[in-house]
Amino acid sequence: MNPHALEDAALLARVAEGDESAVEALYARYGGPCYGLARRILDDAQLAEDVVQQVFLALWQGSGYDPSRGAVSTWLLSVTHHKAVDAVRRESNRRKRLAGEQVLLETATSGPGPDDEAWAALRAERTREGLRGLPAEQREVLLLAYYGGYTQREIAEMTGLPLGTVKSRTLAAMRKLREVLGTDVGENEGQQS
Amino acid sequence: MSDHVRWEELAAGHALDALEPEEDAEFTAHLAGCARCAEVLADHAFVAAQLGQLVDPLDVSAPSWASIREGVVPTPAPVTSLEQVRARRRSPRLLSAAAAALLVAGAGAVWVASSSREQQQSPQQATLAACAASPGCHVVNLQGKASLVVSNGSVRLLSSSLPVPAAGKVYALWQLPRGGRMLLVGSLRATAAGTVGESHALVLPYEETTAFGLSLEPSTVVPTAPSEVVALGSA
């Protein structure tokens, strides 16, 4: 159980009532990880800030969050990722941001997580462990998609792999990571039952 | 490869935002009727979120709330009462006052509905949630009465609590461009089950749209302007 889940639910209720201090509190809690992810994908401070602004605007306007889909943090990071990928695909010079697969791998498999709460640390460690345990070819397609913002078709072109292989490797990687993450750190921490 | 494996592959790609638009649209449409895929997608989305948590702390900190705030909360002064909050939320920047009043009431209703819904998602809810989280796909809430899914230049009324129109009447869907008059997108059929409509091509790109609207119109005439607006939703 995410110890923040109940607090987040209360904050969301206040946001729904138009309480600005509540969205500010959620920004204080999750703005950093959202900005970090957007910055990682976009490699541009202003674009990343724009994305984070859009994410919290969506929160303020009450659009899209569904408690059944998991924690507020999960939703915010998911929306951040979607919007960052949207933004990066609009950029004509996106290829310039490709820092190389090795950088992507280092990004994902080393260093502390953004939150020092025990549950987050546990999940982060298990995720890193899972990534390290993936076959290199599966890890490559997964990280190019998530952190690189590339479509699977683009990854196939970049790597010379058949598209079907990219898809099957991605699915295999996601399944293995889910297995490594286990059920005790599952997605239900945001639910309010 | 079985169909199910293919859908699982698409679910993984969807969770990573790595599908091409046509694949994403195909998966989103399939998701509406597949509870199993909704479960699979939830697992993949969870894994994707964990990847998002791994990003290293940056050597520059996140922007302050003060710098973010302007684009999030359009009103300048701090909130002091619920009445003030409600009054402020009746003033979105892009819409006329009349349209804004309708839209804000709708947004509140949608939020309340979202907050109190059952944890088990219906296929329609899963589709809406998947669309809301997909690049290039947009959900437009029509005051809690209906939801539009807009992607790839087309719009579909996914679900609706709108009543079946009286004999001789149909629902018409409109696009409101920035700085222009309402443009007719098409007519929509309502059934006793309350679900309406097929896909219609957008008249204008989504990015040039301020709002969508539904009106009731005589079934025998092609309207040039909405005669009885029953719901609006901001794009």
Is the pLDDT at B32 greater than 60, yes or no? yes
Task: Specify the range with the lowest mean pLDDT, choosing from B9-23, B32-46, B67-81.
Answer: B67-81
Most confident of B8-17, B114-123, B196-205: B8-17
- pLDDT recorded at residue B85: 38
Collapsed DSSP state (helix, strand, coil) of residue B119: coil
Across the interface, whether the CB atoms of A171 and B5 are under 8 A apart is answered: yes
Can you tell me the mean pLDDT for A98-114?
48
Percent of chain A topping pLDDT 90: 31
Average predicted confidence (pLDDT) for chain A: 78
Beta-strand runs (E) in B63-136: none
Tens of pLDDT, residues B202-235: 888 888 787 788 888 887 777 877 777 777 777 7
Task: Name the strand (E) or helix (H) holding B127.
Answer: helix B123-132
Residues 11-40 of B with CB under 8 A from A: 12-13, 15-20
- pLDDT recorded at residue B216: 82
Kindly report the number of other CB atoms within 10 A of residue A164's CB atom.
Answer: 13
Min Cα–Cα distance to chain B from A88, Å? 11
Across the interface, whether the CB atoms of B115 and A150 are under 8 A apart is answered: no
Residue numbers in B near A108 (CB within 8 A): 51, 54
Residues 125-184 of A with CB under 8 A from B: 127-128, 142, 145-147, 149-153, 155, 167-168, 170-171, 174, 177-178, 181
Across the interface, whether the CB atoms of A128 and B54 are under 8 A apart is answered: yes
User: Which residue in chain B is spatially nearest to A76 when comparing CA positions?
Assistant: B49
Collapsed DSSP state (helix, strand, coil) of residue B216: strand
Can you tell me the mean pLDDT for B44-54?
87
Q: ipTM for the complex?
A: 0.75
- pLDDT recorded at residue B121: 59
Is the pLDDT at B197 greater than 80, yes or no? no
- pLDDT recorded at residue A153: 94
Check CB contact of B76 with chain A, cutoff 8 Å. Answer: no
DSSP 8-state symbol, B196: B
Task: Specify the range with the lowest mean pLDDT, choosing from B5-9, B34-38, B57-61, B223-227.
Answer: B57-61
Determine the Cα–Cα distance for residues A10 and A119; give it in Å rounded to an integer.
Answer: 20
Across the interface, whether the CB atoms of B57 and A114 are under 8 A apart is answered: yes
Q: What confidence category does residue A146 fall into, taking pLDDT thresholds of 50, 70 and 90?
A: very high
Is the pLDDT at A182 greater than 60, yes or no? yes
Check CB contact of B74 with chain A, cutoff 8 Å. Answer: no
- pLDDT recorded at residue B199: 75
Across the interface, whether the CB atoms of A108 and B89 are under 8 A apart is answered: no
B134 sits in the region (left: phi over 0; alpha: psi -120 to 50; else beta) called beta
- pLDDT recorded at residue A167: 97
Collapsed DSSP state (helix, strand, coil) of residue B175: strand
Residues 141-170 of B with CB under 8 A from A: 141
Determine the Cα–Cα distance for residues A58 and B139; give it in Å rounded to an integer.
Answer: 12
Interface test with B, best of A2, A63, A147, A157 (most B CBs within 10 A): A63
Check CB contact of A16 with chain B, cutoff 8 Å. Answer: yes
Question: Cβ(A42)–Cβ(A51) under 8 Å?
Answer: yes
Given B17, B54, B72, which is nearest A81 (Cβ)?
Answer: B17
Can you tell me the mean pLDDT for B117-136?
67
Give first-to-last CA distance, chain B, whole Å.
39
Q: What confidence category does residue B174 fall into, taking pLDDT thresholds of 50, 70 and 90?
A: confident
- pLDDT recorded at residue A160: 92
Across the interface, whether the CB atoms of B71 and A53 are under 8 A apart is answered: yes
Average predicted confidence (pLDDT) for chain B: 71
Tens of pLDDT, residues B78-95: 434 434 434 443 333 333
Q: What confidence category does residue A51 fall into, taking pLDDT thresholds of 50, 70 and 90?
A: very high
Task: Specify the range with the lowest mean pLDDT, choosing from A122-136, B46-60, B113-127, B129-143.
Answer: B113-127
Q: What confidence category does residue B15 fall into, taking pLDDT thresholds of 50, 70 and 90?
A: very high
Handedness of CA A174, A177, A183, A184 (dihedral sign): negative
Determine the Cα–Cα distance for residues A42 and A37; give it in Å rounded to an integer.
Answer: 9
Q: Could you please report the per-residue DSSP string of chain A?
A: --TTHHHHHHHHHHHHTT-HHHHHHHHHHHHHHHHHHHHHHH--HHHHHHHHHHHHHHHHTT-S--GGG--HHHHHHHHHHHHHHHHHHH-TTGGGG---HHHHHHHHHSS--S--SHHHHHHHHHHHHHHHHS-HHHHHHHHHHHTT---HHHHHHHHT--HHHHHHHHHHHHHHHHHHH-STT-GGGG---
Handedness of CA B195, B201, B202, B205 (dihedral sign): positive
